[in-house]
A and B are shown apart, each in its own frame.
Chain A
């Protein structure tokens, strides 16, 4: 729904054919899912737990600077692993097929202040269904930012580079507030809604437990290293928050990603749904380690097409998906992390100011489309 529709050259029949080809890719992975995949997630979980244990152990001696550095780095990585490759993906049901009650979307709880139950609703249900539909998908700027020319501008948006920076630093709290739809629910009448109150209470409980663990119990256990341990856990949370925020911004905010109007998804076919996911997501290119640390959300396009396929399979799926992008002459938005982060931030800055003519393509956008 930007001025030039990058999918305009496709006929309805082609879009359905594309859908069938994507279904075939999905079926192939499902038929092949098995022991190796199960071994993979078990290995990752076990590695994460060991890393966290060791890092917390090292932090008991964080009064010594090398121990502080080592422990903080380890804990940061452990927290990123917990949230990204493990938590995000398990909560998507990617590993439910194993029928292991300890690794299942209905039982998993993550190292995050938003209870997994609430996050699953706002993320799996709303965001993944209404991807990039203005007014339906609140991930589009999290309700505090404007990320497309077609969104209405308010003076509030002048501050959005600052909001975005603060959101990055305290991202897990941002997500918790977002999952609660706090903005919408702060009105007096909604605040009293028992259903909202129950959810708010659950968030409160989770925050209390998380804060108690990170900022009271572990520092206390460290004795003379109380303050360094406190600083270490704060730093690890900060690092994890900024990292996940950056990765997630790269998924839908970089230039070249399309947004959609509410009416455009009325009566959407499976093929059209797939196409919207393809045009509404962007990838991050890089090494295996990069893919792992992003929880394979570097394969955001593949993840949005097949949110419940095991994350360790996205890399092989990506080759086939990319071939389909080429076949159907569509733009596969991808790039290295710094480039994508920069692109997303530039958009945040640009759209903090009003644009005169919504729905008309700006010259700089056209250039990017051609260049990318």
Chain B
């Protein structure tokens, strides 16, 4: 018998010993970060960056597969007893010697998870992790010239890139309300002092929002640069338009943190057929929230439509995409993202 077969036999026997629980339920008591466990991490430190941002140092479990610079990961944190999942860019370099990873979180107004992480998270706390993902990453071949165009917490994936690989010619244009709001400011200025980076800070409180037409003045050779842009939807929309206008759109890579959500109407009776729950939903509340309100265990992820951690079969009825207003009707095999879909009339969600 092969060793894998032998191990699976042994595991089956162990399952008989622990039924109706699983062996992992007991192993989790002593070793929650072991290989083979559900992926978790332990918060080891919280370092303040600005008044409302902090870097969280996480020791991931043994199953962690590592990331590529620019990627994000989903984390599940218990906030006031409720497990909430969010996605954050990884800000540590890929070659960090101690095996820790960091995310840098900016507390947004009314943000349950971001405020908890920045202000209340304690070292020692266990959190849930997902493997890193995302295609906002650097290419295999080194580009000759690079532009990083960022605003606010949009700097976080780019910081992961800056810390990871050195390029010969890197320019960064970063927007923040005031100098003290610039996350990683000291480190950026150190890079500038070492001549590893040319940096333009746009302070929007005094300079006003960045007008993309000003880019010609700030970075005259922007069209020749491989560009990574991350920030609010307004900035990214303008950038995409600008790059397309000059026919260099293939040089622009963007990452959107928050979808722009349209005001939707309708709503209707939502049935969660697997659990047998039926509730009324309005046309503006994501079905993920509707389900969780009703006590249904909904898979969830970034809650902004990017990670597809919440996709669930739509068995009947129709839903509206809150970002685009697009209507999706039930058909065999149709999956919907419950975090950005609202009821557009009665519908049946397989949960």
Q: Specify which of B78, B81, B84, B297 is in contact with A106 (CB 8 Å cutoff).
A: B297
Chain B, Cβ-Cβ closest to A87: B20
Verify B295–A98 contact, CB threshold 8 A. no
Q: A98-B78, A99-B82, A213-B16 are in contact. Are A107 and B26 (CB under 8 A)?
A: no
Q: Specify which of A99, A101, A110 is in contact with B84 (CB 8 Å cutoff).
A: A99
Per the bound structure, the CA–CA distance linking A106 and B249 in Å amounts to 48
Q: Determine whether A21 belongs to the interface, using a CB cutoff of 8 Å to chain B.
A: no
Per the bound structure, the CA–CA distance linking A213 and B16 in Å amounts to 6
Q: Determine whether A210 belongs to the interface, using a CB cutoff of 8 Å to chain B.
A: yes
Verify A35–B17 contact, CB threshold 8 A. no
Verify A217–B17 contact, CB threshold 8 A. yes
Verify A49–B20 contact, CB threshold 8 A. no
B-contact 0/1 string along A74-109, CB 8 Å cutoff = 000000000000000000010011111110111101
Verify B16–A212 contact, CB threshold 8 A. yes
Chain B, Cβ-Cβ closest to A38: B81
With both chains docked as a complex, state the minimum distance between the C-beta of B313 and any C-beta of chain A, in angstroms: 16
- Point out the residues of chain B lying under 8 angstroms from A106, CB to CB: 274-275, 296-297
Chain B, Cβ-Cβ closest to A206: B20
- Point out the residues of chain B lying under 8 angstroms from A111, CB to CB: 20
- Point out the residues of chain B lying under 8 angstroms from A206, CB to CB: 20
With both chains docked as a complex, state the minimum distance between the C-beta of B17 and any C-beta of chain A, in angstroms: 6
Q: Determine whether B186 belongs to the interface, using a CB cutoff of 8 Å to chain A.
A: no
Chain A, Cβ-Cβ closest to B28: A102
- Point out the residues of chain B lying under 8 angstroms from A49, CB to CB: 21, 25-26, 29
Chain A, Cβ-Cβ closest to B15: A209
Verify A209–B20 contact, CB threshold 8 A. yes
Verify B81–A217 contact, CB threshold 8 A. no
Verify A98–B81 contact, CB threshold 8 A. yes
List A310-324 residues whose CB lies under 8 Å from chain B: none
Q: A210-B19, A212-B16, A217-B16 are in contact. Are A34 and B81 (CB under 8 A)?
A: yes
Chain A, Cβ-Cβ closest to B274: A106
Q: A109-B20, A209-B19, A217-B17 are in contact. Are A104 and B83 (CB under 8 A)?
A: no
Q: Specify which of B78, B84, B274, B292 is in contact with A38 (CB 8 Å cutoff).
A: B78
Residue among A46, A53, A101, A308 having the largest count of chain B Cβ atoms under 10 Å: A101
Per the bound structure, the CA–CA distance linking A2 and B287 in Å amounts to 47
Chain B, Cβ-Cβ closest to A45: B25
Q: Determine whether B80 belongs to the interface, using a CB cutoff of 8 Å to chain A.
A: yes
Verify A96–B29 contact, CB threshold 8 A. no
Verify B297–A110 contact, CB threshold 8 A. no
Q: Determine whether A136 belongs to the interface, using a CB cutoff of 8 Å to chain B.
A: no
Per the bound structure, the CA–CA distance linking A111 and B21 in Å amounts to 8
Per the bound structure, the CA–CA distance linking A110 and B20 in Å amounts to 6
- Point out the residues of chain B lying under 8 angstroms from A218, CB to CB: 17
Q: Determine whether A50 belongs to the interface, using a CB cutoff of 8 Å to chain B.
A: yes
- Point out the residues of chain A lying under 8 angstroms from B82, CB to CB: 34, 38, 97-99
With both chains docked as a complex, state the minimum distance between the C-beta of A365 and any C-beta of chain B, in angstroms: 39
B-contact 0/1 string along A33-47, CB 8 Å cutoff = 111111100000010
Q: Determine whether A12 belongs to the interface, using a CB cutoff of 8 Å to chain B.
A: no
Per the bound structure, the CA–CA distance linking A38 and B80 in Å amounts to 8
Verify A50–B84 contact, CB threshold 8 A. no
Per the bound structure, the CA–CA distance linking A105 and B272 in Å amounts to 15
Chain B, Cβ-Cβ closest to A37: B81
With both chains docked as a complex, state the minimum distance between the C-beta of A268 and any C-beta of chain B, in angstroms: 20
Per the bound structure, the CA–CA distance linking A209 and B16 in Å amounts to 7
Per the bound structure, the CA–CA distance linking A45 and B292 in Å amounts to 23
List B67-125 residues whose CB lies under 8 Å from chain A: 78, 80-84
Per the bound structure, the CA–CA distance linking A362 and B26 in Å amounts to 55
With both chains docked as a complex, state the minimum distance between the C-beta of A345 and any C-beta of chain B, in angstroms: 32
Residue among B13, B80, B275 having the largest count of chain A Cβ atoms under 10 Å: B80
With both chains docked as a complex, state the minimum distance between the C-beta of B277 and any C-beta of chain A, in angstroms: 10
Q: Determine whether A221 belongs to the interface, using a CB cutoff of 8 Å to chain B.
A: yes
Chain A, Cβ-Cβ closest to B13: A217
Verify A35–B80 contact, CB threshold 8 A. yes
With both chains docked as a complex, state the minimum distance between the C-beta of A105 and any C-beta of chain B, in angstroms: 8
Q: A46-B29, A49-B25, A53-B26 are in contact. Are A104 and B81 (CB under 8 A)?
A: no
B-contact 0/1 string along A316-356, CB 8 Å cutoff = 00000000000000000000000000000000000000000
Per the bound structure, the CA–CA distance linking A262 and B17 in Å amounts to 46
Chain A, Cβ-Cβ closest to B80: A34
- Point out the residues of chain A lying under 8 angstroms from B20, CB to CB: 109-111, 206, 209-210
Q: A218-B17, A221-B17 are in contact. Are A96 and B295 (CB under 8 A)?
A: yes
A-contact 0/1 string along B248-260, CB 8 Å cutoff = 0000000000000
**Can you offer 19 A-B residue contacts whose CB atoms are under 8 A?**
A34-B81, A36-B81, A38-B81, A38-B82, A49-B21, A49-B25, A49-B26, A49-B29, A96-B297, A98-B78, A99-B300, A102-B25, A107-B297, A206-B20, A210-B19, A212-B19, A213-B16, A217-B17, A218-B17
* Known contacts A36-B81, A209-B19; 5 further A-B pairs (Cβ under 8 A): A99-B297, A102-B25, A106-B275, A213-B16, A308-B295
* Chain A contacts to B: CB under 8 angstroms: 33-39, 46, 49-50, 53, 93, 96-102, 104-107, 109-111, 206, 209-210, 212-213, 217-218, 221, 308
Query: Considering the complex of A and B, which 4 residue pairs feature the smallest CB-CB distances, nearest first?
Result: A38-B81, A109-B20, A34-B80, A99-B83
